[in-house]
Every structure is written in structure tokens, then in C-alpha cells.
Amino acid sequence: MKILVLNSGSSSQKTALFDLSPQAADPASPLWEGKLEWDGSKETITVTNSDGKKFREESRVLPEKRGSSLGKMLDQLWQPPTGLDLDRKDIAAVGHRIVHGGPRLTEPAIVTPEVKRAIASVSAIAPLHNIAGLDGIEYSEGYFPKVPQIAVFDTAFHSTLPLAAKVYPGPYEWYEQGIWRYGFHGINHAYCATRAARLLGRDLASLKTVTCHLGNGCSLAAVADGRSMDTTMGFSPLEGLMMGTRPGSLDPGILTHLLRSRQITQAELDEVLNHQSGLLGISGISSDMRDILAAVGTGNERARLAFDIFIHRLQSGIAAMAGSLAGLDALVFSAGIGENSPEIRTSCCERLAFLGIELDQTKNSLAIPDVEVSSPGSRVRTLVIRAQEDLCIAQTAMNLLSPC
């Protein structure tokens, strides 16, 4: 059972092929991975197969032509040096990561014209991602005409939010119009909570877990009984924690002030909130936490401020999530920053000792996911877990096609 996963973002399109058949040697490791990135007018295709064979091509193609570039990347599935001994009919399904499922798509779905319309209808809310996701689906339908396309939604896991966490305290009509807290990164939050329970030898149903997805986008989820009870992202992926280029939660009065005083247009505001805020906006250096940490090391004050705001908001967010759960058994760090930065984990956990969180500094500094990093006496168990969104999407697609 070979499943291809397409993860289409605003500036990259990642793809991975998994063999989930029972006889597969290592179903968790992709047989083949490709990445198509856009950087201004340049694009780069990088492909690697499980034998370590690589293909890399850099070209000057305009982003509008990215459909054909996706085809160029997918062609490497069958062409040397990275091609595998298969053809299109060997692909059982293509799984697509779709960031926003809107009010109706709360379960993984086989793509139909109606599903595509529902995805398109919420594209304005998550413009960075949903349009790219739809482009990926439409290209894949043409490239694999007889293969089922499965959409898996980042919002779906949070459809269990209690109304008190879900509904914004604006006019009730907002809720009736679908303006509520959807939450994002659900594929990874769900996976991390389940994986933490397994690693700790605990029943998922008895565990209160806060999962921290800290990548370019950052969010927290409060998970009890395997269900999302609260989360930091809301109607759009702009709410909540400070991120690489997004500010997270702001006083909405700032936005009305900027618009009313005509300092900014709505399009400029979108640009500022999506691309010019967060770590980049405050430091003026970079959206990449590695650059921020390096600049902090050289005494750069704006990088220090960016770091301090990031930690301040992360700490208070974790405490708020623990409050929503009325307790905390496990804390999970995941995604690029969460998995790779012992400094962030330490700085964040230091002031959360009152919740019973205590790290083992040696384990934390040497952590290779998936691993526990809490001290033996810590009441809350802290883990570092590798994000496996593509594998989760492949498994979800397989379960949808052949439920066990």
C-alpha cells in the first residue's frame, strides 16, 4: 500500500511516499521525499530516495508556473537517479494536508467537487495555505487521474473544543456565521498526545497533556481524554503565540487604529501580520530561531527582546492551557524549534516549576526525539517528540480507504 503525501505551503511544496503495507521494512520512513521551494524568482527542487540517491535542480521559473514544477518534481518518482521501481498505478492514494477545513470539514475526506468547494470557501481565512493546498489537489488529480485523493485537515482535531473555548465573546451572530476558534496544527497535536501516552505507558484517556508545536508557525493544544479542549490559534493561524513572521495575539484596537488613521491599507495589514511581524518584526534580523539565538549570543538587544517575548508568551500560554485542563500530566515539545532547541525548552520551563515541571538538564541538552527530558522527580513528564505530519496523513488516508 503505497501512499503519496502532498504538503503544499505558501513557499514550498513537500511530498513523501510511504509504504504502509504490512511487509514494509520501516513504514515510518518515507521511500522517497521531494521538496519544491520558491524564493523570489528562483525555485529549487530537491529529491532524495531511501537509497540516499539525490536530484537537485535550481531554475528561474515564475511562481505562477508552479504546477508544472510540481510535475517536474513528481516525475523524479520514476526517473533516474531517484526513481523507484513503480508506476502511477502503484500509488494507492494521494493524501493532502489542508490547513483549514472550515465549519463543515471536521473529518478526513475523499476529495469530491463538493469538498473542493468547501476548502475554497475558507481560503480567504487561511490565504497562505488553503489556496496552495487546493492547487496541489488539482494538479495531483491530473497527474494521478485514477487515484483517490484524500484531504486531511489541520483544523479537524480541534472540532471537539468546548463552546467556552470555541466561541469568541463578540456578538453571538459571529458564531452563527462560522466566526469561531478553529485551531490549527491539529494533525501534529493529535499525534503528539497519542505518542506521549504510548511513551509514558499511560492510557491516553487518563492523561492531561499540553502539546507545543513550535515551528515557523507556533501553537499549543490542551488535550484531555485524547480530545482537544483548548488551543492558542483561533479563527485563523494568526492568533496565539509569537511566531517566525506572525505576531500571535494582539489587541484588536491596534488594528482598528491603524486602519482608521489610514496608516495602512487592509492588504498592507495582511502583509504585516503574515510576513513582517513575530521574530522577524521585532529582531529585524530573521524569522529563524537559530539566527535569533546566534544574535542573542553576540549581545544584539532586539534579538534578545524577540527571544524574551517568545518565551514570555510561550510560558503564559502553557500555563493557560494547563488551566483549561485543570491539571497537567505531560508537556510535549515538537516541530523545528520544539525538537531542536534545548535553550527554548529550558527558558520556557524554568518559570513553570510551580506547575510541577522540572527538566533534567543533561537529558534536555542531549535530547534526540522521541525522548523524555524531565527529571526523575518531576511531577509533570516533559517529552520531545518529532513531528510526523506526513506519516500521519498517509496513515489517515490508508484508514479511510480500508478501515480496519
Task: Read off the amino acid at residue 171.
Answer: P
> In the range 187-206, which residues lie near ligand ADP by CB under 6 A?
none
- Neighbouring CB atoms inside 10 A of 181's CB total 20
Work out which of 290, 297, 301, 305 binds ligand ADP, going by CB under 6 A: 290
Among 282-290, 309-317, 373-381, 390-398, the segment contacting ligand ADP (CB under 6 A):
282-290
19, 154, 230, 390: the catalytic one is 154
Residue pair 219/232 in contact (Cβ under 8 Å)? The answer is yes
Among 23-31, 300-308, 334-342, 365-373, the segment contacting ligand ADP (CB under 6 A):
334-342
Q: What angle, 0 to 180 degrees and rounded to 10, lies between the N-to-C axes of helices 113-121 and 130-143? A: 160
136 binds ligand ADP (CB under 6 A): no
Residue pair 129/236 in contact (Cβ under 8 Å)? The answer is no
Work out which of 199, 288, 320, 347 binds ligand ADP, going by CB under 6 A: 288
186 binds ligand ADP (CB under 6 A): no
Work out which of 119, 147, 165, 337 binds ligand ADP, going by CB under 6 A: 337
CB of 92 to ligand ADP, least distance (A): 26
Backbone angles phi, psi at 266, to 5 degrees: -65, -35
Among 82-90, 268-276, 287-295, 308-316, the segment contacting ligand ADP (CB under 6 A):
287-295
216 binds ligand ADP (CB under 6 A): yes
Kind plus residue range of the DSSP H or E element containing 285: none
Work out which of 17, 289, 303, 380 binds ligand ADP, going by CB under 6 A: 289
**Per-residue DSSP letters for 233-253?**
--SSTTSSS--SS---S--HH
CB of 216 to ligand ADP, least distance (A): 4
Work out which of 102, 108, 133, 217 binds ligand ADP, going by CB under 6 A: 217
Nearer to ligand ADP, 42 or 290 (CB): 290
Nearer to ligand ADP, 108 or 244 (CB): 244
Among 84-92, 121-129, 215-223, 374-382, the segment contacting ligand ADP (CB under 6 A):
215-223
- CB closest to ligand ADP, residue no: 336
CB of 99 to ligand ADP, least distance (A): 11
242 binds ligand ADP (CB under 6 A): no
The site for ligand ADP, by CB under 6 A, has a size of 13
133 binds ligand ADP (CB under 6 A): no
Nearer to ligand ADP, 91 or 359 (CB): 359
Residue whose C-alpha cell reads 510561550 in the numeric block: 314
Residue pair 325/203 in contact (Cβ under 8 Å)? The answer is no
Question: What's 80's DSSP letter?
Answer: T
Strand order in the sheet with 2-8: 54-59, 42-49, 32-39, 12-19, 2-8, 91-98, 149-153, 109-110
Q: Is the four-CA dihedral 175, 176, 177, 178 of positive or negative sign?
A: positive
Task: Read off the amino acid at residue 15.
Answer: T
279: cell is 521574530
132 binds ligand ADP (CB under 6 A): no
Nearer to ligand ADP, 247 or 355 (CB): 247
Say how far apart CA 86 and CA 12 lie, in whole Å: 25
Burial 313-343 (b: 16+ CB within 10 A, else e): bbbebbbebbebbeebbbbbbbbbbbbbbbb
CB of 178 to ligand ADP, least distance (A): 26
Say how far apart CA 43 and CA 68 lie, in whole Å: 12
336 binds ligand ADP (CB under 6 A): yes
11 binds ligand ADP (CB under 6 A): no
CB of 98 to ligand ADP, least distance (A): 15
Q: Is 87 a catalytic residue?
A: no
**Per-residue DSSP letters for 360-387?**
-HHHHHT--SSEE-B-TT-SBEEEE---
Half-sphere exposure of 87 (CA within 13 A, CB side): 2
349 binds ligand ADP (CB under 6 A): no
244 binds ligand ADP (CB under 6 A): yes
Question: Which residues in this chain contact ligand ADP in the complex, by CB under 6 A?
Answer: 215-217, 244, 288-290, 293, 335-337, 340-341
Query: Catalytic amino acids?
Result: 154
